[in-house]
Amino acid sequence: MQVEVMLSAEDIAKRVRELGEEISRDFVDKDLVVVGILKGAVIFMSDLVREIKVPLEIDFMATSSYGASTKSSGVVQLLKDLDTAIEGRDVLVVEDIIDSGLTLSYLSQLLQSRKPASVRTAVLLDKPDRRQTDLVPDYVGFSIPDKFVIGYGLDFNHKYRELPYIGVVTE
């Protein structure tokens, strides 16, 4: 498998700082819970929360829609739910990538049913060409073409998450 760098570690760090500043402005005086979607969002979320300059609590959810494939199955399974009550609180869902939008749409609806003050979404990567829902993320790191990417938390068959950059898999 060949990997071509799409986004350098420096480009990612700069954009994460900018997102942290924007989120900090938007959540001043709010009761913020940042919800990371396991496992892919862990690295992005870790860097992002260090750039957010307002008090926050973190929690995690886990879903599956890929298995060992490079394409989403379209079926979202909830593998881990929140440990934190979110009623009346502002929730920021942090995801590594949005392509079809099915997972993030499912999670947004599930969280909305728990009566939070608000639910917003932050994604590192957006693949708008693959969207199958009307969901538009509130905060987007980068919009990318429809290519399979790895690194900075994104994996292929549970490998390559540790890469400090986003790379495109080429055959």
pLDDT per residue as tens digits for the range 134-143: 999 999 999 9
Q: Which pLDDT score is estimated for 75?
A: 75
Asked if the model's pLDDT at residue 92 lies above 60, the reply is yes
Domains in the chain: ranges and CATH: 8-146 (3.40.50.2020)
Q: Which residues are catalytic?
A: 99
Q: Which pLDDT score is estimated for 49?
A: 98
**Stretch among 5-19, 63-77, 156-170 having the lowest mean pLDDT:** 63-77
Q: Let me know: does 44 contact 152? Beta carbons within 8 Å.
A: yes
The closest of 7, 26, 11 to 90, measured between CA atoms, is: 26
pLDDT band at 74 (very low <50, low <70, confident <90, very high): low
pLDDT band at 66 (very low <50, low <70, confident <90, very high): low
The b-or-e profile of 13-48 (16+ CB within 10 A means b, else e) is eeebeebbeebeebbeeeebbbbbbbbbbbbbbebb
